[in-house]
Structure 1
Amino acid sequence: MRSSFLIATGLSVAYAQLQSEYDYVICGGGTAGLVLANKLSADLNTQVLVVEAGANVSPDEPAGQGVETGWAYKSQPQIYAGGQIMDLPAGKILGGSSQINGKAYVRPDASEIDNWGQVNDASWSWEVLFPFYKSSESLSLPSSEQEDAGNTVNKDFHGFNGPVNTTFPAVGTPNFFNILEGTAANVSIPRNKDFNGGAARGLSTYPGTYRIEGEREQFRESAREAYYLGIASRKNLEVLAGTSCLRITWADGSSGDNVTASGVEIANSNNLTTVSVRKEVIVSAGSYRSPTILEYSGVGNPKILANYNITTKIDLPGVGENLQDQMQGSITYSLSNTSNISFPDAVGNEITTNYLMHVTYEDIFGDGAAEIQARVNSSLSAYASTISKRINGSITAEQILNSLQVQYDTIFNRRAPAVELFTNQALTRDSVTLEFWPLQSLGRGNVHISGANAQAAGAQPIIDHNYFITDYDWDIYIAAARWVRRFFATAPLVDSMGEETRPGLAKVTQDASDEEWKAFYQDNFRAGWHAVGSAAMLPRAWGGVVNGDLQVYGTANVRVCDASVIPFILGGHPTSTLYAMAERAAELIIRGTKG
């Protein structure tokens, strides 16, 4: 068997031989992994290897047509949601999920980032992370035509010289925005000129991670374009595509609370070998894969590892637990014959302006807000107990309760947005859809390995999100659906609306009970595709996996940097935060290396 691989650099044209040892091995060339590769390899005396299971192409390139871009994960049947099996897409391509996501550049509410530091390490906060949001971004300011469609910015919130190009859609419909703005005002939702400054409530548009080519055509800007292609010729950076990281190997005699990684076992369809590491292994394979790499390395819950005859190296039962996501729904109305909504003339790769509303629990529940707050407060212990039993006690109810109390405070005391709503210019030309998803779901699930053979089983771990495991998750979801229906019935939007076609009054009547709403949506929701938390940056006593430096507890030189470390599900959309987090992580790593 060969002990080395040929690796592709740049556009997979030039080839070089894999070295036996690197300063840093990054397991996963996704959104965060490529940021780290870029920053760590800026020191030309530092040797960096990125191992990516997917191809080194872009789906927008001719060479990328027909290339597999995602893992196509499936959830376990969701017992609290009608037994549904959810599709859970995740990027399997250089650039990771930044190659397949919705391209939204929307940061969370500041309070949600502040939570990270308050529970684990004071060096994480909105104030600390904000400069990294800006330094990673290069925003193109909206034109007057784009401003007419509602696209506005506060320049103080953005960066203009970073690697990630962001811009606003080239195509807009001003009268549709005006209708939305007037309707929002009539239900007491303010206009927000720019979500990205940390105060997220209100109605606004948002930039996206794409670039303009020509007059109006717009193309995706993934981490591959932003952080890799421009530095692909660096002699000290190698990207090994089409290859998986199976497990971390450990130095002989390494034990105790500072177990030292010696390398990473990697494989493709023809080869299996181990590369050695001088400094650090950084796991950056995403919320569904990073925990499995740790488990195959002997880091995790001893009971789970024993099922597959894996020797426990570090007893860390939080690995794979604390998995969180959001649940999406939608309501659609046809347009009336008297509708005055005009439609954009969009063709090819033109992207139309999208509109978001972020609303609080008080907006959604109205006069019932105090009642729901009291009910949730009195139910937190029961929620924690239910979740702990469902995950076989891998994390105790007391540990889970700690995290639920943080989220409770975020929703009900600090009043971070509790629901996001999304619409565009109704490109179908005959309807308008409002999508909604509660942002701060309280449920938790897990992800674990499905077999002893990392090569055979690694492609499909056991993923169980436990969607709707808490009563609150159904309460906020159903209340959001009712709120959307009321929004459609509010002037001036109602003047352009015809009949409700989804779910429709025949399926969910105007005065439907909670159970009737639930009966429809447990068969018609979808996963939010924002999975976080499975290697959580939490205190070890809370079931955490990494500390405030993203270092895996019990290790001397292993970190995790991707969405799996985010301890609590976030509002906004994850990409902007992942770029900022990885930029700061690179600074922590470099600073730590230099002492």
Structure 2
Amino acid sequence: MESKQYDFVVVGAGSAGCVLANRLSEDGRYSVLLLEAGPVDNYPWIHVPIGYGKTMFHPTLNWGYTTEPDEGIAGRRMYWPRGKVLGGSSSINGLIYVRGQAEDFDDWAAMGNPGWGWDQVLPYFRRSEDQERGEDAYHGAGGPLAVSSVHENHPLVEAFISAGEQAGFPRSEDFNGASQEGVGYFQLTTKNGRRCSSAKAFLRPARQRSNLTVETNAQTNGLVIEGNRVLGVRYRKEDTDFTVHARREVVLSAGAINSPQIMELSGIGDPEILKEAGLPVVHPMKGVGRNLQDHLQARIISRCTQSITTNDDLASMVRKARIGLKYLLFRRGPLAVGINQAGGFVKTNDADSRPDIQFHFGTLSSDKPGAPVHEFPGFTLSSCQLRPESRGEVHVASNDPYEYPRIHPNYLSEEKDCEVMIAGFRLSRRILEKPAMQPFVAEEHSPGRDIQSDDEILDYLRRDATTIFHPTGTCRMGRAEDDMSVVDARLRVHGLEGLRVADASIMPTIVSGNTNAACIMIGEKASDMILEDAAEAVCNQAASA
């Protein structure tokens, strides 16, 4: 079959990939192909904010990865949902809009990545944003991505925020403003009570452009490489294999699991890993698949003294009907917001310069995220370490492109991580013990008050802590002389022409918070750099002609 050609081929229609498809095709000059392994995003529960409970284990919309047994969490395997649908994980996530701390990005720049400091990335956050509260120095209005506030206050959420203040933490009206520190309501990527995924925000407005082609159910299984240049992509759709060529560049935006997997399947990676998997060594790169980071959370589940929780709503046919009707008529109520409506960013040590713990507060409880809720009134407060020092790996298991890669998170493998997680757990308890919260706390259901010492808490963390679904860092951005870096500051793969990576995998260090907003920013910044380099190439060709 004759290969089709496009100027740009973008692999992965997730948080960054949809941005790239929009921006690269915007002026009509270049042809763009966007490949997505999953289907279109027409499953109704994708678009209902609380509906991610329906997609977390969905066999079609979700890759449904499971990690390898991890010594740091008592040999457990961890379930890692990742979006496999237009919008990627932005179509199945918790909708929380948090960018991270300014220092995160200044740290990236200090690691040898010019142009990635806070002052340089803030304009891209603002460009993408349609902030419900309006434009200011930190926020944009009129962009594709809707960002809105929680419009209805819940007594449990109000009690949590007040208890946080009683514990000594300031109330925050904006975690993405001048300072991240404090407790308060999250903002969400919603509009009029509907999810605003990257697909809805960026891809849907661009779908009718004649120069943009979107292929769904098309799984990329390798790159076409000749010498030191990537020429195109191999993919499978409906049991048929295709090859497509890129006149200018291929951009991997398949995420922290799939982008390194595609590179290794193409012979780009650590020679020892490739040889063990039966793959040829085309371009040696030790850093591919390494530097894996994730946020681990410790949950405290409380039984509530009043039947006002989401558990109670779901247990009553009358209350469920009332909630459904309210959503259908007004796009309001529990269905219009995510599970975690509020949270906070705090310091475990007053000597710290910035928060190192994030709280998530939800008005429901279950044995694990996404599982059926408890039969009793319950709510959950979780804490996670924002900048873990533990590093994991993800690598191909074999040369079969359809076999899932092996994921080794290496949670809690660094002593610092254990210390901060224990401190965060103690801060959660401190908030729950404050006067504002006490009228609602019947008892601590899990782990229970018999868990008190540092050793007991750490043992609980190893047995029960769960991911918050933020894998990053596996194609790390850095200097060429650093043999563990994969891409340069313009996201070009070191030593190869025609290939970039633009997604969560390029983060040298994980951002201090939820990762979706930062991934969208990466897509925005990458699109500008790609277009700048394309324009420069045209000028150089004209000058040499």
Q: TM > 0.5 between the two?
A: yes
Answering whether residue 488 of structure 2 is matched by residue 544 of structure 1, we say no
Query: Which residues of structure 1 form unaligned runs of 5+?
Result: 5-18, 142-152, 213-217, 364-368, 370-411
Answering whether residue 430 of structure 2 is matched by residue 525 of structure 1, we say no
Which residue does the alignment assign to 1:347? Answer: 323
Describe how 1:175-324 pairs up with structure 2 within 5 A.
175-197=155-177, 199-212=179-192, 218-251=193-226, 254=227, 259-324=228-293
Deviations 1:15-61 (A, max 9, x none): xxxx6111101111111111001000113131111111000123227
* Change over 3 Å in CA distance of 1:279–1:177 after alignment to 2: same
Question: What is the CA distance between 1:198 and its match in structure 2?
Answer: 5.1
Root-mean-square deviation over aligned CA pairs: 2.6
Task: Write the letter of the residue equivalent to 1:558.
Answer: L
**Which secondary structure state, in structure 2, belongs to the residue aligned with residue 303 of structure 1?**
helix
Which residue does the alignment assign to 2:369? Answer: none
* Change over 3 Å in CA distance of 1:198–1:107 after alignment to 2: farther
Say if 1:326 and 1:529, in contact at 8 Å, map to a contact too: yes
Which residue does the alignment assign to 1:505? Answer: 449
Separation in 2 of the partners of 1:524 and 1:121? Answer: 37
Deviations 1:236-265 (A, max 9, x none): 1101111111111123xx2xxxx1111111
Question: What is the CA distance between 1:436 and its match in structure 2?
Answer: 1.1
Separation in 2 of the partners of 1:529 and 1:229? Answer: 25
Answering whether residue 13 of structure 2 is matched by residue 29 of structure 1, we say yes
Question: What is the CA distance between 1:431 and its match in structure 2?
Answer: 3.2
Counting matched residue pairs gives 499
Question: What is the CA distance between 1:67 and its match in structure 2?
Answer: 7.1
Which residue does the alignment assign to 2:88? Answer: 96
Which residue does the alignment assign to 1:75? Answer: 67
Separation in 2 of the partners of 1:531 and 1:195? Answer: 21
Say if 1:171 and 1:351, in contact at 8 Å, map to a contact too: no
* Change over 3 Å in CA distance of 1:520–1:61 after alignment to 2: closer
Describe how 1:86-485 pairs up with structure 2 within 5 A.
86-141=78-133, 155-173=136-154, 175-197=155-177, 199-212=179-192, 218-251=193-226, 254=227, 259-336=228-305, 347-348=323-324, 349-351=335-337, 354-363=341-350, 412=352, 415-425=353-363, 430-454=377-401, 456-457=402-403, 460-485=404-429
Question: What is the CA distance between 1:425 and its match in structure 2?
Answer: 4.5
Deviation above 4 Å: which 4+ runs of structure 1? 61-67, 175-178, 337-341, 343-346, 425-429
Task: Write the letter of the residue equivalent to 1:466.
Answer: N
Which residue does the alignment assign to 2:543? Answer: none
Separation in 2 of the partners of 1:182 and 1:584? Answer: 38
| TM, length-normalised to structure 1 | 0.79
The share of aligned pairs that are identical, in percent, is 29
* Change over 3 Å in CA distance of 1:483–1:312 after alignment to 2: same
Query: Which residues of structure 2 form unaligned runs of 5+?
Result: 48-53, 314-318, 325-334, 366-373, 537-545
Question: What is the CA distance between 1:118 and its match in structure 2?
Answer: 1.0
Which residue does the alignment assign to 2:540? Answer: none
Separation in 1 of the partners of 2:491 and 2:246? Answer: 18
Separation in 1 of the partners of 2:419 and 2:206? Answer: 49
Say if 1:108 and 1:196, in contact at 8 Å, map to a contact too: yes
| TM, length-normalised to structure 2 | 0.86
Separation in 2 of the partners of 1:359 and 1:260? Answer: 46
Question: What is the CA distance between 1:269 and its match in structure 2?
Answer: 4.0
Which residue does the alignment assign to 1:40? Answer: 24
Say if 1:248 and 1:265, in contact at 8 Å, map to a contact too: yes
Which residue does the alignment assign to 2:51? Answer: none
Say if 1:265 and 1:275, in contact at 8 Å, map to a contact too: yes
Say if 1:138 and 1:163, in contact at 8 Å, map to a contact too: yes
Say if 2:14 and 2:254, in contact at 8 Å, map to a contact too: yes
Task: Write the letter of the residue equivalent to 1:289.
Answer: N
**Which secondary structure state, in structure 1, belongs to the residue aligned with residue 417 of structure 2?**
helix
Separation in 2 of the partners of 1:564 and 1:335? Answer: 40
Deviations 1:442-473 (A, max 9, x none): 1001000111122x32xx10100001111121
Question: What is the CA distance between 1:495 and its match in structure 2?
Answer: 3.8
